[in-house]
Chains A and B, each alone.
Chain A
Amino acid sequence: MNAKRPVVALIAIVSLIFLYVPSLAVAIFSVNNAKYGLLWKGFTWKWYTQLFSNQAILDAALNSLFVAVISTAVATVLGTALALGLDRFPWPRRGVKAMDLLVHLPVVTPDIILAAALVLTFSLLRKLSSVFEMGMFTLILGHITFQISFVTLVVRSRLAALGRDIDEAARDLYASGRYLFFRVTLPLLMPGIMAGAMLAFTLSLDDFMISFFTHGPDSVTLPIYIYSSVRRGISPEIHALSTMVLLITVVLVVIAERLSRFRREG
């Protein structure tokens, strides 16, 4: 047994390196003082400073943020409501199972399928209203559709951990529906809701597939901008941009993780 341990540890470390070499490479080249080539020409922040003076990139970053904030806000409310509805309404047992499956399905469905479905849906809806011309609105709708499931899953697991005793205790202690919701259910659920929102926010920032198919000329997001720039040739600016997006994502994921652990012992 002991003899095997170093091998297992080694494999684990190699896997981790394998996982992070690409990101690390990007990070290194984002501070390399060379426009082309793969040689180290000294340290520089200039690609980062150029980044912040590039209007197209700033616009794309703003678009990404705008889409992420709006879609996360909407998806969090809808996803939480869905989780509450699934958990608290006395559905027949088979009904709950079917609905659970329906919630899980979008999580495992390939993004490209969802993207294609959205393209079709929007083109049908365009016949009804020009609101569904590809643009900011369709992009936000697209993001909401895949975010809801994730929020619902996170909030539901928190609900399941809470159990029903607490709700019953509150009702037994004269709490009306409103009082119960705002003084007991919502505060206890908040860590779960925040974790779900963080996850949804990160997913929205990162998303390429859905965005690519549902955006319009007014709503180029960062991932789409990076994609189109890379096709024209990789520049150190893009490395800098990628590194920053990566760091922001890491921070958000860590916060989401912290929030979902918060007060779990209660």
Chain B
Amino acid sequence: MAQVQKCFGSHKALKGVDLEVRKGEFFTLLGPSGCGKTTLLRIIAGLELPDSGHVLLGGQDITRLPAAKRQVNTVFQSYALFPHLNIFENVAFGLKARQIEPFEVRRRVAEKLEMLGLDGLDKRYPHQLSGGQKQRVALARALVNEPDILLLDEPMSALDAHLRTQVQEELRRLQRELKQTFILVTHDQDEAMVVSDRIAVMREGLVEQVGEPREVYSKPRNQFVAEFLGAANIIAARRDGGRVVTSLGSFDLSAAPAWDEGSLAIRPERIVLADGQDGDGNWVRAKVREAIYRGQSLDVWLTPDDSAAGDPFKVRVRTHGKDHLRPGDQVSLFFPPEDLVALDQA
């Protein structure tokens, strides 16, 4: 995919997106609503034409190829099952539209229904199914065509939280088994982490960062990516020789920043909390302001002792739920050099 742009009236939904999705990977377009991720998906599906740019599939330009001629199938957010057809006919639709032999149609539909645990439901109609079942029918209906790419447009948004986690893991397993290329659109960063081989984080029609979940989470390129993928401490900083000076003190970084003045990011759970220990490099003494117990973790808000002039800087630390900390407790914090990330200017 190269330089894809799309405008709706004066609003630019996509401002030049360059992405390459590898064959057989689970790729996710992640971003807040209105970032253009769904528009991009629809362009790949052939349901929307880009104003400029190209979509390539296996080296072939498919930008102008209509949806009906693309080896790409979609699971729609609303599932969009055919209400007048039963489950068998729904799943068989794509095969019948291409005039595949009836015998072959029956074999392939039965295979997919079984794979997705839908056997026995083939005579039912969509309105007789639960949300989870409908979703699996939508999945079967797309997968039965053995597409080069399977597109998933927020397929989990209509499911309740418990079911969602289960379906995410199932989807992951399914993709591993089939070794087909999946492209998922979602605004849920947990979902993106669970299922993806690689994630593209999007904002306002642009791709901010592409990488493996581990990479985008622990090495976010800028403040937007850092904050969209979870909690982050953002610290204003200035470069001074080999070290970086902040209002909390000076730190060593494993990768030196490219700027003279900018910001650092560190995940709350990467800051090491210790009593009584101390040291020279990357240690900060701080006082607990608030501790929020979350069961699996304890979120602690701290004010560093050396918090220079004006309003006290707050640091968020996430530690396991076993720790007992009360407001006013004095602690030492260690900022590991490899977990401090220098952010690009947004």
On A, residues with C-beta under 8 Å from B are 163, 165-166, 168-176, 179, 183-184, 187-188, 263, 265-266
Q: B67 at the A/B interface (Cβ < 8 Å)? A: yes
Closest to A184 in B: B82
Which residues of the partner chain A approach B127 to less than 8 Å between Cβ atoms? 265-266
Task: Decide if the interface of chain A is mainly helix, strand, loop or mixed.
Answer: helix
Which residues does chain A contribute within 8 Å of B68, judged by CB atoms?
A: 171-176
Instruction: For B45, list chain A residues within 8 Å (CB).
Output: 172
A62 to B73, CA, bound (A): 54
CB-CB under 8 A from B249, the residues of chain A are none
The answer on a CB contact under 8 Å between B74 and A172 is yes
Given contacts A188-B84, A263-B83, A266-B126, contact A175 B66 (CB under 8 A): no
Residues in B neighbouring A174, C-beta threshold 8 A: 68-69, 94, 97-98, 145
Instruction: Select from chain B the residue with minimum beta-carbon distance to A191.
Output: B84
> Shortest distance in angstroms between B145's beta carbon and chain A's nearest beta carbon?
7
B78 lies within 8 A of chain A by Cβ: yes
A142–B111 Cα distance when bound, in Å, is 57
Interface centre among A165, A166, A174, A263 (most CB of B within 10 A): A174
Does A173 lie within 8 Å of B97, measured CB to CB?
yes
Give CA–CA (A187, B82) in the complex, Å: 10
Query: A-contacting residues of B (Cβ < 8 Å)?
Result: 45-47, 66-69, 72-74, 76, 78, 80-84, 93-94, 97-98, 125-127, 141-142, 145
Contact call B80/A166, Cβ cutoff below 8 A: yes
Minimum CB–CB distance from A108 to chain B (whole Å) comes to: 33
Tally of A-B residue pairs with Cβ under 8 A? 69
Q: A173-B93, A175-B97 are in contact. Are A168 and B47 (CB under 8 A)?
A: yes
Residue among B46, B69, B83, B94 making CB contact with A266, cutoff 8 Å: B83
How far, in whole Å, are A172 and B24 apart by their CA atoms in the complex? 20
C-alpha spacing A168/B126, complex, angstroms: 17
Which single residue of chain B is at the shortest CB-CB distance from A171? B67
B73, A172: Cβ atoms closer than 8 Å? yes
How many angstroms between the C-alpha atoms of A183 and B82 in the bound complex?
Answer: 10
A165 and B80 contacting across the interface, CB-CB below 8 Å: yes
Find the A residue at minimum CB distance from B125.
A266
Of B69, B80, B84, B141, the residue contacting A168 (CB under 8 A) is B80
Contact B76 A176, beta carbon cutoff 8 Å: no
Given contacts A179-B97, A188-B84, A265-B127, contact A173 B78 (CB under 8 A): no
Does B141 lie within 8 Å of A173, measured CB to CB? yes
A10 to B81, CA, bound (A): 47
16 contacts between A and B (CB under 8 A): A165-B76, A169-B74, A171-B47, A171-B66, A171-B67, A172-B68, A172-B142, A173-B97, A173-B142, A174-B68, A174-B98, A174-B145, A175-B68, A183-B93, A188-B84, A263-B83
B84 CB → nearest A CB, Å: 5
List, in ascending order, chain A residues with CB within 8 A of B46's CB.
171-172
A185: min CB distance to chain B, Å: 11
Q: Is A173 in contact with B84, judged by CB distance below 8 angstroms?
A: no
| Residue numbers in A under 8 Å from B141 (CB-CB) | 173
A183 CB contacts on chain B under 8 angstroms: 93, 97
A187 CA to B68 CA, complexed, in Å: 20
Residues of A near B69 (CB, < 8 A) are 174
- From B47, B83, B93, contact of A175 by CB (8 A): B93
Other than the known A173-B93, A175-B93, A183-B93, what 13 A-B pairs have Cβ atoms closer than 8 Å?
A165-B80, A168-B47, A168-B76, A168-B80, A169-B76, A169-B81, A172-B46, A172-B72, A173-B97, A174-B69, A188-B84, A265-B127, A266-B127
Q: Give, as a whole number of angstroms, the nearest-CB distance from A93 to chain B.
A: 10
When distances are taken between beta carbons in the complex, the residues of chain A under 8 Å from B98 are: 174
CA A183 – CA B98 in complex, angstroms?
Answer: 13
